[in-house]
Amino acid sequence: MDTLAFLGAGSMAAAMVEGVIAKGAYLPAQIACMGGKGLTGPALAKRTGIRLASSLDDLLSGSDTLVVAFKPQHLASADPRLAELTAGRLVISVLAGKKLDALSRCFPKARGVIRSMPNTPGQIGAGLTGWCADKAPSPSDRVVLDKVFGALGASVEVPEAQMDALTAISGAGPAYLFEFAAALRDAGLSQGFDPKTAKLLAVETVLGAARLLARRDVDPEILRAEVTSPNGVTAAGLRRMADRDFRGIVKETVAAARARSEELSA
């Protein structure tokens, strides 16, 4: 039976567990987890019905695929027994910035090592996962990857040289959008709306615009032009964004995130 083991039980692991269960890709009985210090592991197991492992040996007993989801900086101090315990297993890493060569040193006997970067909308099946592999996955392992990543949403295989940039755009991207939604909400508050209405205006506007963009499948500039009348209300707002170099700020944001991803790989 195809089974999943999660080493780490934080927000990314939780998003993946909830995503694969919600889509029926895996049953709770087919998934085990083990967190670090704290209550993340027990909390995830209680919430989702997956098995809470008591040790590495317990976690990997009977598990065919290991998802490594602890903090990236902990890879260097990972339990050396993982080298033997992951022999013959597929290892999927979601550790930001950790390159395939470093992962392969930690899991030298794995049948395949995958470097991936999902994002948190995967917990509702609306995510995007970028990934690359140490070698071409076998047909059976591609089935596993399709089940895991497909349950989270869309996925794209990219060269490893582009993984840090992908992490900075789609991995961290939801946080940028959440920050924009919060800013739009706060702008509503500044215009006199009550908190509930301000939040509704921000969330539904962001959601509706994103869904329209996906459904129309055109460049965002085209949809922007459809909203914008010459010298109108929207044009006035867009001029202020241009004056403050909104696109430049976004580029700098992505560049800073990519730089941090590269630092984590050192």
- Beta-carbon count within 10 A of 176 CB: 15
Q: Where in the chain is the domain with CATH 1.10.3730.10?
A: 173-264
Residue 232 DSSP label:
S
- CA distances (Å), origin 51, targets 37, 63, 152, 264: 17, 12, 20, 31
- Mean model confidence pLDDT for the chain: 93
Alpha carbons within 13 angstroms on the beta-carbon side of residue 125 total 8
**Phi and psi (nearest 5°) for 113?**
-125, 125
This prediction has a pTM of 0.85
- Three-class DSSP category at 93: strand
Answer with the residue of higher pLDDT: 72 or 145.
145
Q: What average pLDDT does range 97-104 have in this prediction?
A: 92
Residue 264 reports pLDDT greater than 80: no
Q: What is the pLDDT of residue 181?
A: 98
- pLDDT band for position 76 (cuts 50, 70, 90): confident
Contact 83, 109 (CB under 8 A): yes
Q: What is the pLDDT of residue 82?
A: 94
Alpha-carbon gap, residue 48 to 184, rounded angstroms: 33
Contact 261, 168 (CB under 8 A): yes
What is the strand order of the sheet 4-7 is part of?
51-52, 31-34, 4-7, 65-68, 90-93, 112-117, 127-133, 153-157
Share of the chain above pLDDT 70, in %: 98
Q: Where in the chain is the domain with CATH 3.40.50.720?
A: 4-160
- pLDDT band for position 1 (cuts 50, 70, 90): low
Answer with the residue of higher pLDDT: 161 or 74.
161
Tens-place pLDDT, residues 162-218: 999 999 999 999 999 999 999 999 999 999 999 999 999 999 999 999 999 999 989
Tens-place pLDDT, residues 17-43: 988 898 898 999 999 999 866 678 999
Contact 224, 237 (CB under 8 A): no
Task: Take residue 116 and report the two structure tokens written for it.
Answer: 């991936």
Residue 266 reports pLDDT greater than 80: no
Pairing of β 127-133 and β 112-117: antiparallel
- pLDDT band for position 73 (cuts 50, 70, 90): confident
Q: What is the pLDDT of residue 62?
A: 84
Q: Which CATH class is domain 4-160?
A: alpha beta
Bridge partners (DSSP) listed for residue 259: none
Q: Shortest CA distance to 143 belongs to which of 65, 85, 63?
A: 65
Q: What average pLDDT does range 75-79 have in this prediction?
A: 87
**What is the second-level CATH architecture of the domain 173-264?**
Orthogonal Bundle (1.10)
Alpha-carbon gap, residue 222 to 8, rounded angstroms: 42
Q: What is the pLDDT of residue 238?
A: 97
Tens-place pLDDT, residues 133-167: 999 999 999 999 999 999 889 999 999 999 999 99
Alpha-carbon gap, residue 142 to 116, rounded angstroms: 14
Q: What average pLDDT does range 250-255 have in this prediction?
A: 98
Given its phi and psi angles, is residue 187 left (phi above 0), alpha (psi -120 to 50 degrees) or beta? alpha
Residue 69 reports pLDDT greater than 70: yes
Residue 92 reports pLDDT greater than 60: yes
Tens-place pLDDT, residues 210-246: 999 999 989 999 999 999 999 999 999 999 999 999 9
Ordered DSSP codes for 112-161: EEEEEE--GGGGGT-EEEEEEESSPPPHHHHHHHHHHHHHHEEEEE--GG
The alpha carbons of the chain give a radius of gyration, in whole angstroms, of 21
Alpha-carbon gap, residue 183 to 189, rounded angstroms: 10
Q: What is the pLDDT of residue 263?
A: 84
- Three-class DSSP category at 124: helix
Alpha-carbon gap, residue 246 to 223, rounded angstroms: 18
